[in-house]
Amino acid sequence: MSRPARASHFPISLFATPGPQFQDVFYTVPRAGHLVGGVDHHIRRDHFPGHELILCLRGRGFVRIAGRTHPVSRGQFVWINCHHAHEHGAITADPWEVYWVRAEGPRLAKISEWLAVSAAPVFADFDRAAAEPIYRDLFRLVAGNAPDAPAFIHAEVARLVALAFSARQRQGEPQTPTVSPALARAVERMKLFYFEPHRVANLAGMCGMSESHFGRLFKAAFGTSPIDWLRRERINQAKRRLVETTDAMKEIAEQVGYRDRFFFSKDFKALTGLTPREFRNREGTSIR
């Protein structure tokens, strides 16, 4: 006589309603739990708030995103950006058991892009031993609803994100968009000769590209324009000189590629929130 198929059940099922004062600052967890999956466990959504972070404790499951099915097995971690159509569930022959949290918060969508979770939602080489106590701490924090819980919940979700980054690195998969060798030549030129004037047309020509194509590739790789990247590199170099030398402001401005000291000061404050003098004083080196 065959045994009846196991039905799904939740040893832990938690709900929370984070306050609006935390949602713009912290990672929050409105839903979390421990699922012992059965043959009936199957979820399909067109879109849903948040990101589901799932740790497979035993058994097997699957996740389907953008028409591709990814198998999940014991010890693996799954990141699902629920804002996009997705499907996941247990494998009938060996239903999974999982810890999971649904996280929300600033920058999670961007981080999921860096980790390429739409194309590769399963993290194979994941540190399960480190992750399990994080989930248990999150369950305790969400259930306790203490006044200081939001900050600790944020920290625990950040630890899961860090483990995901480490797993991706061990898998040898890129964490950020690939920088083509042609683009890298332009970047290396700006890093070595940041103090020289650079035009986008010249940088694009060095890479054998049109200006528009070069600009699109650069922004996809670095999230900013080539000229804005160069501004920030010059300011980084200026910071070092402000702290490590007693050179005058005019000299430092010229050293990092600014011909106008006043424009340098204006640019420095726009990017750092401080004037060069304020930055130097704050970092402990006074002007002599």
Report the side by side order of strands in the sheet with 86-90.
42-45, 86-90, 60-65, 68-73
Rounded Cα gap, residues 249 and 151, in angstroms: 41
CATH 2.60.120.280 in the chain: give the residue spans.
9-171
- Lowest-pLDDT choice from 20-24, 36-40, 255-259: 20-24
Give 4's pLDDT tier (boundaries 50, 70, 90). Answer: low
pLDDT digits (tens, 9 = 90+) for 209-255: 999 999 988 887 888 899 999 999 999 999 989 988 999 999 999 99
pLDDT at 96 over 80: yes
Rounded Cα gap, residues 60 and 185, in angstroms: 45
Distances (CA, A) of 224 to 48, 62, 113, 177: 29, 36, 16, 13
Q: Are 248 and 242 in contact (CB under 8 A)?
A: no
- What's the rounded mean pLDDT across residues 201-210? 93
**What is 181-282's CATH number?**
1.10.10.60
**What is 9-171's CATH number?**
2.60.120.280
CATH 1.10.10.60 in the chain: give the residue spans.
181-282
pLDDT digits (tens, 9 = 90+) for 108-142: 998 998 898 999 999 999 999 999 999 999 999 99
pTM higher than the cut 0.95:
no
